[in-house]
């Protein structure tokens, strides 16, 4: 695919996936329209917040990045308006789309993803009246009754408190934030990778949750707290290294290892690579243009597989097409929308080197083509 066509392809892919969710929730009709395909457990109480929060988490930087004009900017403004309308519908107890923020455990997860969207797109907070902010605060605050286990879940609590701070809530809990960051400093395993709890897990949760949330929570509070400010350079160095590892996982053909739980989140597995591009954290050996081309190849492979969507355009479980066996008992239609996290780099302007750079091969493709590269090395500490 030619360089000039790739951003357009990303936008078209993003809106094809996100469109049904955003259009429905902006009209207060997500619960009416969205099917809930599930395996064993009853996920209906959580599915709608999952779909909305995870979609928003991925498209937020694009919403935040105002463009000079043109077709993409018109589309961005439309999605910005839908995002605000959806946020109000989701948090209004009188709305048909009022969502579950506090019943059972799962809502903490997706309150956090929706919170992450507000940190990534603060213009959405700026679009709210004071009364509307209080409405969102009440909904987010209600998730505090859910106690996270000793795993990536402590970052969900920390992210909700980060959003409460951004929304102007005076009672945001700094202890939850600092406790989560301190704990993950203890769970670090080396070479950019954290344990999900005390143990290491061979999956993509360092990209689905851990590295992105550590990076953005610490970045948000760095100028408010000396202890967190001291953690930031360490967290960023590790995030950069983990992004390098993700880039090396993209095969010459655009495939990647199918390992670990939640693999049905598809190219959401590359959230930290896209975030590293967005925040200019890519290491020297992973140039922005080669990351763009590698991620585009992954998207193309996944999007060309038949059966990814149902007849109405809603996601179905799988990686390459419809593969329900790849979905755990906690996977349903709503949770699949974490795939939107791959689109973070759309928050960069079209002039950024990520988009403006000439097409380039990614690491595995260079090696497969016979290019003589330097050895890969782990980071110390």
One digit per residue, the tens of pLDDT, for the chain of length 381 reads 898 899 999 999 999 999 999 999 999 999 999 999 999 889 999 999 999 999 999 999 999 999 999 999 999 999 999 999 999 999 999 999 999 999 999 999 999 999 999 999 999 999 999 999 999 999 999 999 999 999 999 999 999 999 999 999 999 999 999 999 999 999 999 999 999 999 999 999 999 999 999 999 999 999 999 999 999 999 999 999 999 999 999 999 999 999 999 999 999 999 999 999 999 999 999 999 999 999 999 999 999 999 999 999 999 999 999 999 999 999 999 999 999 999 999 999 999 999 999 999 999 999 999 999 999 999 987
CA distances from 369 to 296, 301, 362, 363, 364 (A): 18, 19, 11, 10, 9
Q: Would you list the domain boundaries of the chain? A: 3-368
Residue 108 belongs to what H/E stretch?
helix 107-120
Angle between helices 107-120 and 71-91 (to 10 degrees): 140
Please give the model's pTM, rounded to 2 decimal places.
Answer: 0.98
Quick one: residue 372, left, alpha or beta (phi over 0 = left, psi -120 to 50 = alpha)?
Answer: beta
**160 CB contacts (<8 Å, ≥6 apart)?**
108, 111, 112, 115, 140, 143, 144
Architecture, CATH, for domain 3-368 = Alpha/alpha barrel (1.50)
Token pair 């380039």 is found at 360
CA distance 21 to 57: 13
- Number of Cβ within 10 Å of residue 96's Cβ equals 12
CA distance 60 to 347: 8
Reduced to 3 states (helix: H, G, I; strand: E, B; else coil), residue 18 is helix
pLDDT reported for residue 40: 84
Q: pLDDT tens across 128-137, in order?
A: 999 999 999 9
CA distance 325 to 335: 15
């Amino acid at each position: 695919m030619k360089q000039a066509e790739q951003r357009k392809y990303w936008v078209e892919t993003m809106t094809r996936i996100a469109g049904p969710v955003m259009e429905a929730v902006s009209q207060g009709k997500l619960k009416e329209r969205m099917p809930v395909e599930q395996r064993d457990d009853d996920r209906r109480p959580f599915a709608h917040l999952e779909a909305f929060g995870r979609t928003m988490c991925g498209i937020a930087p694009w919403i935040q990045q105002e463009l000079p004009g043109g077709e993409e900017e018109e589309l961005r403004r439309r999605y910005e308006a839908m995002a605000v309308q959806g946020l109000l519908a989701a948090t209004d107890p009188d709305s048909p789309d009022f969502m579950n923020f506090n019943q059972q455990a799962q809502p903490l997860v997706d309150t956090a993803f929706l919170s992450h969207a507000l940190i990534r797109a603060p213009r959405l907070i700026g679009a709210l009246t004071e009364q509307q902010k209080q409405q969102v605060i009440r909904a987010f605050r209600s998730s505090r009754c859910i106690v996270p286990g000793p795993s990536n879940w402590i970052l969900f609590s920390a992210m909700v408190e980060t959003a409460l701070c951004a929304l102007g809530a005076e009672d945001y809990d700094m202890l939850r934030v600092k406790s989560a960051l301190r704990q993950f400093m203890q769970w670090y395993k080396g070479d950019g990778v954290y344990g999900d709890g005390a143990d290491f897990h061979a999956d993509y949760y360092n990209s689905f949750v851990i590295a992105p949330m550590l990076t953005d929570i610490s970045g948000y509070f760095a100028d408010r707290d000396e202890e967190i400010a001291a953690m930031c350079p360490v967290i960023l160095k590790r995030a950069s290294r983990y992004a390098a590892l993700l880039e090396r996982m993209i095969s010459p053909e655009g495939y990647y290892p199918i390992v670990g739980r939640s693999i049905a989140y598809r190219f959401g597995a590359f959230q930290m690579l896209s975030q590293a591009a967005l925040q200019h954290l890519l290491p020297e050996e992973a140039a922005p243009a080669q990351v763009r081309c590698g991620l585009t190849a992954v998207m193309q492979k996944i999007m060309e597989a038949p059966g990814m969507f149902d007849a109405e355009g809603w996601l179905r479980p799988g990686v390459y097409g419809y593969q329900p066996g790849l979905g755990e008992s906690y996977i349903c239609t709503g949770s699949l929308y974490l795939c939107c996290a791959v689109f973070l780099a759309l928050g960069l302007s079209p002039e950024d080197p990520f988009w403006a750079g000439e097409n380039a091969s990614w690491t595995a493709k260079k090696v497969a083509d016979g290019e003589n590269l330097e050895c890969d090395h782990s980071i110390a500490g």
